[in-house]
Structure 1
Amino acid sequence: MPAVERVLVVGAGVAGEAVAIFLADGGVQVDLIEQKQQIAGLGSGITLQGNALRVLRELGVWDEVSARGYGFNVTGIRAPDPAGTLVGEVKDARTGGPDLPAVLGMPRPDLAEILFDRALAAGVNVRLGTELRDATDEGDGVTVTFGDGSTERYDLVIGADGLHSRVRQIMGITEEPKSTGMAIWRIFTPRPASITRTDLTYGGPQYIASYCPTGENSLYAYIVEDASAANFELTNEERATLFRSLSESYHGPWDEIRQYITPDRPINYTFFETHLVDGPWNRGRLVIIGDAAHSCPPTLAQGAAQGLEDATVLAELLLAADQVDDALWQAFTARRLERAREVVDASVQLGQWLLDHNREADVPALMGRIAGIVSQPA
């Protein structure tokens, strides 16, 4: 019998849905709550590395993800010159194994929908528009109070509720995400036929200009610049004007993308943030995973992948153990903390090199080291 019979998962993002599915498949009764009224991935698109795809295959959704995404195995490097000259091609590490693409882009809402439907099929009890107010660890269980004042008792509470986690706050953990000094503009557009992979342009007036195909007819384009809180106050029309202006310094495929940077398309602006809860991610029978436990700038595209890895490891340990005890939490910490630290530190380091305009930085070595780590299952 699993170590837990009834579990509450807080947060219906990628990590929360994944751990709920794994546990429900293992015979655990799972309630999954989400304070929003609907399941929808924020932002425009998402880049999934092979180690994320490996977990999605374990979840039984790879066929749907593959059909609705766009996979590729090579990344291009372009110069910030008037022609957007292609100066190199890098064969991406297939960190999920040789039978999966190295990288796959897809619309975030599509991934959210696929995982949501899979959770329902697994028997997860999903409660939208439900807020966690408080949780009290009673040693052999947790009593939870919801936003409407009702209470329930669970064997375990899993906080997968993102950067500003309520569960993390209840647990008394003080680490909070902090800005790295960078921010990213994103827009979702049609995919010009010439774009069949990600091309990265480093330098020019901004730090990075890039795009990722997310389907046969879609991509998301993005530009990374210095963070400015004032940009959050802009209307979408003002955002489109500014984003289009930033893009005019980049060419090649950007000359095709630029026509789609218009006010009728939502434009997302987000600060790069980072944190890591340094030490066990549980306090008694409350535990955090995903962005609640660690976050990093998307310079290595490992945010979702690390959350998925948290989910598969935690579920594996809970289903294999016969009780929730120190040995279980020690095993979880041993398998996840240092691996997540390596990814977070490397992601931040890459961003810092860009902020410092460090031309001596050995980016290929850093990326190769992380690829070697995440190529091994968590």
Structure 2
Amino acid sequence: MNAVRNVGIVGAGAAGLATAVLLAEAGTDVVVYEAKPSLGALGSGITLQGNALRALDRLGVWDEVRARSFPFDLLGIRAPGPEAPLIAEMPENKMGGPGYPSAAGMYRPDLAEILLARARALGATVRFGARVTAVSQADDAVTLTLATDAGPERATHELVVGADGLGSAVRELIGIETRPEPNGMGIFRAFVRRPAEADHLELVFGGPCYIAGFSPTGADTMYAYLVEDKQDRQDMTAAEGSRIMAELARPYGAHWNGIRAQLEQGVEHVNYTWFTSHVVAEPWNRGRVVIVGDAAHSCPPTVAQGAAQSLEDAVVLSDVLTRHDALTDEMWAEFHERRVARVTTVVEVSNRIAGWLLAHERGDVPGMHRIISDLVSREP
């Protein structure tokens, strides 16, 4: 039972490829349109909480993710300063259930490659260099106008999923006015070598940055990050980013001494982005077009749920599409009931923690994390 026979998905990020995997697995004809000429995921790391790992298992890629990531169950908190005393070391909750680690860090492009390979293996078509410029709907179909190297094209599908990220063209083309708004913070991320003893997530709050942290991603790799007041660094080169990160990291000790030494020599993979926040109010669909992932919601990564919530969108959307026999109001109501409130809570809690950091206030961060842990431990 499938509500639709063919689907066009705009965007080859986590939400788009995960949706493609699950729909193709269910026998739906799927075409993914990606504006970029190649996969092009940002070359740093990603932390996947347990509920993200549970979703990846549903996608059939957990074994490969486990082999190419670094699982951990501990969170370390250090004080700022050259001595960097350890304040606490605590086990993290297993939000995906007892069969998964609390979290896993991995190289972001590796995750993208795994999802792309899985989608193609199940029969989904993925087209790069195909940018959506217009969307038009009839009672039973959606037509996309595409800009490609060969010229403009049109493609018609029974359903279109807009999974094209923060700057979603689909969101704008279907008339949704909600946009991601910067929250005042910016983050450097650098992919660096990992010493053997840096085997779990570690955070420092305070000092010249709001947060200095790192997450292991492999046998000898990890990604380090620094959160500052947002700056205009959009055209920053990797060399410039390495230099700025090294200077910002100067007051931090412990493992940051080794990280800083690498940054001073220059690191190949450094990127910088602003934190944003938004939630599109229900409904996320306009007729036969629906948005998911970062197109529908974003939040500061203060509870590390961005990728997890995008993957959950894909799981729930695919579930309702394959259990209903038509795109009915009942089907859309079920989708929104299972997603909007859950995502909204994640965004609100993430913003609450970020707000305390921006105001240099001591808030109940453990309490906020418990709220999220209890929420996402339940299946979406």
| Separation in 2, partners of 1:125, 1:196 | 38
Match of 2:304 in 1: 301
**Cα deviation per residue 1:324-376 (whole Å; 9 max; x = unaligned)?**
011111111110000000001111111110001112x1110000111100000
Match of 2:333 in 1: 330
Deviation at 1:4, TM superposition (A): 0.2
| Separation in 1, partners of 2:81, 2:35 | 46
**Cα deviation per residue 1:40-76 (whole Å; 9 max; x = unaligned)?**
3214000000000001001110110000000001100
Instruction: Note if 1:252 corresponds to 2:254.
Output: yes
SS in structure 2 of the partner of residue 305 of structure 1 = helix
Q: Please, which moves more after superposition, 323-332 or 261-270?
A: 261-270
| Separation in 1, partners of 2:361, 2:253 | 23
C-alpha RMSD of matched pairs (Å): 1.0
Match of 1:191 in 2: 194
| Separation in 1, partners of 2:144, 2:205 | 48
SS in structure 1 of the partner of residue 134 of structure 2 = strand
Match of 1:24 in 2: 24
| Separation in 1, partners of 2:230, 2:4 | 43
SS in structure 1 of the partner of residue 214 of structure 2 = strand
SS in structure 2 of the partner of residue 77 of structure 1 = strand
Match of 1:341 in 2: 344
**Cα deviation per residue 1:266-292 (whole Å; 9 max; x = unaligned)?**
321111111110111000000000000
| Separation in 2, partners of 1:323, 1:235 | 49
| Separation in 2, partners of 1:325, 1:21 | 23
Which amino acid is the alignment partner of residue 116 of structure 1? L
| Separation in 2, partners of 1:48, 1:264 | 23
Q: Which runs of 5+ in 1 are unaligned?
A: none
Deviation at 1:236, TM superposition (A): 3.1
Match of 1:275 in 2: 278
User: Which residues in structure 2 correspond to 1:86-165 (within 5 Å)?
Assistant: 86-147=86-147, 148-165=151-168
| Separation in 2, partners of 1:247, 1:153 | 51
Match of 1:204 in 2: 207
| Separation in 2, partners of 1:322, 1:237 | 54
Which amino acid is the alignment partner of residue 245 of structure 1? E
Deviation at 1:264, TM superposition (A): 4.5
Match of 1:177 in 2: 180
Which amino acid is the alignment partner of residue 243 of structure 1? M
**Cα deviation per residue 1:230-258 (whole Å; 9 max; x = unaligned)?**
x2344433322211000111100111111
* Alignment counterpart, residue 310 of structure 1, candidates 313, 318, 324: 313
| Separation in 1, partners of 2:287, 2:209 | 45
Instruction: Note if 1:367 corresponds to 2:375.
Output: no
| Separation in 1, partners of 2:114, 2:143 | 31
8 Å contact from structure 1 (residues 161, 292) kept in 2: yes
8 Å contact from structure 1 (residues 189, 257) kept in 2: yes
8 Å contact from structure 1 (residues 61, 118) kept in 2: yes
| Separation in 1, partners of 2:237, 2:340 | 40
Which amino acid is the alignment partner of residue 376 of structure 2? V
Which amino acid is the alignment partner of residue 263 of structure 1? G
| Separation in 1, partners of 2:238, 2:193 | 18
Which amino acid is the alignment partner of residue 345 of structure 1? E
Match of 1:46 in 2: 46
Which amino acid is the alignment partner of residue 176 of structure 1? R
| Separation in 2, partners of 1:238, 1:220 | 17
| Separation in 1, partners of 2:108, 2:368 | 27
Instruction: Note if 1:220 corresponds to 2:218.
Output: no
Which amino acid is the alignment partner of residue 250 of structure 1? Y
8 Å contact from structure 1 (residues 30, 124) kept in 2: yes
Which amino acid is the alignment partner of residue 309 of structure 1? E
SS in structure 2 of the partner of residue 76 of structure 1 = strand
| Separation in 2, partners of 1:32, 1:224 | 33
Give the % identical residues: 47
| Separation in 1, partners of 2:108, 2:267 | 19
| Separation in 2, partners of 1:34, 1:246 | 36
TM-score (norm 2): 0.97
8 Å contact from structure 2 (residues 320, 331) kept in 1: yes
Deviation at 1:12, TM superposition (A): 0.4
Which amino acid is the alignment partner of residue 66 of structure 1? R
Q: Please, which moves more after superposition, 297-306 or 263-272?
A: 263-272
Deviation at 1:140, TM superposition (A): 1.1
SS in structure 1 of the partner of residue 234 of structure 2 = helix
Which amino acid is the alignment partner of residue 23 of structure 1? L
| Separation in 2, partners of 1:356, 1:84 | 23
8 Å contact from structure 1 (residues 143, 152) kept in 2: yes
Which amino acid is the alignment partner of residue 326 of structure 1? D
